[in-house]
A and B are shown apart, each in its own frame.
Chain A
Amino acid sequence: MISIKNVSKTYHNGTHALYDINLEIQDSEFVYIVGPTGSGKSTLIKLLDGEEIPSKGEVIVQGIDVGKLKHSKVPLYRRNIGVVFQDYRLLPRKTAFENVAYALEVVDAPKDELRKRVREVLKLVDISDKSNAFPSELSGGQQQRVAIARAIANRPKILIADEPTGNLDPKKSDEIIRLLEKINREEKTTILIVTHDIEIVRHHPKRMIAIDNGHVVADLAEGGN
């Protein structure tokens, strides 16, 4: 469970990004976070994965007070969370398979189990046939699938995607959201999607948290009430 209590965030340069946020997200939930540019959505994600520390209040994820984590404990905590970005961030000199395997290697997964798991997630994101392709040989949608595969390889409890469809056409965007729904169903992963794309929210209705100017302005359960 994610529990955000009275959280405010002011950056070092004095920018107020979030004001007194209160949110609870249950395990296996599927949630959209929407809001205009500069409203504080990415900041909220950075507080969740431990990149930033709240200026006030506390962020509790799976019982861990994320803001109070010591620098050296952040990596272990972060294995609970997979993050996917708009720009994929794959290693250009590694194949799709190697990119996913990399995420498992750096956390010291045993080698035989590693190969099995890589094949499994590549299959889950439906890109098995491109295992040996380099990122430059893949389309945007395919690269995003590899990025998602990498993010879930470690079986994180929570998958966060910051604008995962930002660079994709509507059809490809739709496929990615359907993939995330499948991961939510099959791996019981909590999914948080930051998006500008209201079409997506309309076609795949879920709980939607709207942020504006650092405030939560709406928190609508699936179906819109």
Chain B
Amino acid sequence: MFHRFFRHIKEGFIGVGRHFGMAISSASAVMITLVLIAVFVILTWNIQTVTSTIESSISIVASIDYEAESESSRSNIETAIKAIPGIDTVEFRDKDEEFTYYAEMQGEEERDFYEQYRSSNPFHDVFLVSVEDGLDIQEITSQIATINGVYGVYDGGTNTYTLVSLFANIRIFGGALVIALCLLATYLVYNTIKITIASRKDEIWIMRNVGAKNGYIRAPFLVEGVIIGGLGSLIPIILTIVLYYLMYDNLGGSLFGAFTLVEPFPFILYVALGLFVTGIGVGFIGSYISVCKYLRLRR
């Protein structure tokens, strides 16, 4: 059993050695893919943190008509808001609290100035609505505006929409790019293994002829694919860890002084592990498809 296991491993290394140029070139493809993935993941992860900070600070303020301040119509409005899909939380603040909230945002002097108007409070009762996904904010705002008894709705406005959808687009575009790169790397491994298979055609033929199981025939090629993937992930892993630590230290943990960067530990180790798994996965899948395709043609 062990003997057999080590034979497959050995055959895998021999295979890499036999087509060293091919192996290196597809390992380089895996490497480039992984470097790009690393850049992208680090970027999105950091943006993600920024975005969620923005998103959680976005809330829609829906003010209530003076005529709709009664207990019953208030709860009607609340029910109507909660019925809109994509709503996270709904919080009520009466106009007194609103007055205090705004008064406290002013300086000492102005506060006193404001306080004299408290009896004729010009504020409305409000609902503070937060949404699950920042992308829905515009849609939800307009829906709340149509509810009976809602006097006005306010959200962060166009700037928030643009920022949130920009980040979302970066994520979508980057994700598509990563998938495309993974497919390309898989394809290159697939081709390398195809060539190794061709060079061992006679051996495979004999194996089949004397009754070697498909799994047995597959094993050394899978090992070879995994070695290629593993080799390809080595440099990106080292680069990622070293460069991120350097960047974090040099920038003092923040970008433009505005966005805080994700702490290197344990974040960067997860990224490194992810790269390793992706590299090996790409190698495994590429070689698996290659051998299976070859074996399926023959009985």
A contact residues vs B (CB 8 Å cutoff): 49-53, 71-72, 74-79, 82-83, 89, 91, 102-103, 105-108, 111, 150-151, 153-154
Cα-based distance from A77 to B211 in the complex (angstroms) = 7
Q: Which residues of A contact B203 (CB under 8 A)?
A: 91
Do A79 and B211 have beta carbons less than 8 Å apart? Answer: yes
Cα-based distance from A111 to B1 in the complex (angstroms) = 11
Do B4 and A51 have beta carbons less than 8 Å apart? Answer: no
Cα-based distance from A205 to B7 in the complex (angstroms) = 46
Q: Does B216 contact A (CB under 8 A)?
A: yes
User: Closest CB-CB distance, A6 to chain B, in whole Å?
Assistant: 21
Do A75 and B214 have beta carbons less than 8 Å apart? Answer: yes
Cα-based distance from A111 to B207 in the complex (angstroms) = 18
Q: Which residues of A contact B66 (CB under 8 A)?
A: none
Cα-based distance from A103 to B203 in the complex (angstroms) = 10
Q: Which residues of B contact A91 (CB under 8 A)?
A: 202-203, 206
User: Closest CB-CB distance, A155 to chain B, in whole Å?
Assistant: 12
Do B4 and A78 have beta carbons less than 8 Å apart? Answer: no
A91-B202, A103-B206, A111-B3 known; 11 new pairs, CB 8 Å cut-off, are A71-B295, A72-B213, A75-B208, A75-B211, A75-B213, A76-B211, A78-B210, A89-B205, A105-B7, A106-B210, A106-B216
Q: Which residues of A contact B202 (CB under 8 A)?
A: 89, 91
User: Closest CB-CB distance, A116 to chain B, in whole Å?
Assistant: 17
Q: Which residues of B contact A153 (CB under 8 A)?
A: 210
User: Closest CB-CB distance, B58 to chain A, in whole Å?
Assistant: 56
Known: A51-B298, A52-B299. A150 touches B210 (CB 8 A): yes
Cα-based distance from A111 to B7 in the complex (angstroms) = 13
Do B4 and A102 have beta carbons less than 8 Å apart? Answer: no
Q: List 19 A-B contacts (CB under 8 A).
A: A51-B299, A52-B299, A71-B214, A71-B296, A72-B213, A72-B214, A75-B213, A75-B214, A76-B213, A78-B208, A78-B211, A83-B209, A89-B209, A91-B203, A106-B207, A106-B216, A107-B210, A108-B216, A153-B210
Known: A91-B202, A91-B203. A106 touches B298 (CB 8 A): no
Q: Which residues of A contact B208 (CB under 8 A)?
A: 75, 78
B contact residues vs A (CB 8 Å cutoff): 3-4, 7, 202-203, 205-214, 216, 295-296, 298-299
Do B296 and A154 have beta carbons less than 8 Å apart? Answer: no
Do B299 and A50 have beta carbons less than 8 Å apart? Answer: yes
Known: A89-B202, A91-B206, A106-B207. A75 touches B298 (CB 8 A): no
Residue of A nearest to B7 (CB): A105
Which residue, A52, A78, A82, A151, has most C-beta atoms of chain B within 10 A? A78
Cα-based distance from A151 to B206 in the complex (angstroms) = 10
Residue of A nearest to B215 (CB): A72
Residue of A nearest to B3 (CB): A111
Residue of A nearest to B4 (CB): A108
Cα-based distance from A71 to B214 in the complex (angstroms) = 9
Do A71 and B299 have beta carbons less than 8 Å apart? Answer: yes
Q: Which residues of A contact B7 (CB under 8 A)?
A: 105
Q: Which residues of B contact A53 (CB under 8 A)?
A: 299
Q: Which residues of B contact A150 (CB under 8 A)?
A: 210
Contact of A75 among B3, B206, B212, B296 (CB under 8 A): B212
Do A154 and B298 have beta carbons less than 8 Å apart? Answer: no
Cα-based distance from A89 to B208 in the complex (angstroms) = 13
Q: Which residues of B contact A107 (CB under 8 A)?
A: 210-212
Residue of A nearest to B210 (CB): A103
Q: Which residues of B contact A50 (CB under 8 A)?
A: 299
Contact of A79 among B206, B210, B214, B299 (CB under 8 A): B210
Residue of B nearest to A103 (CB): B210
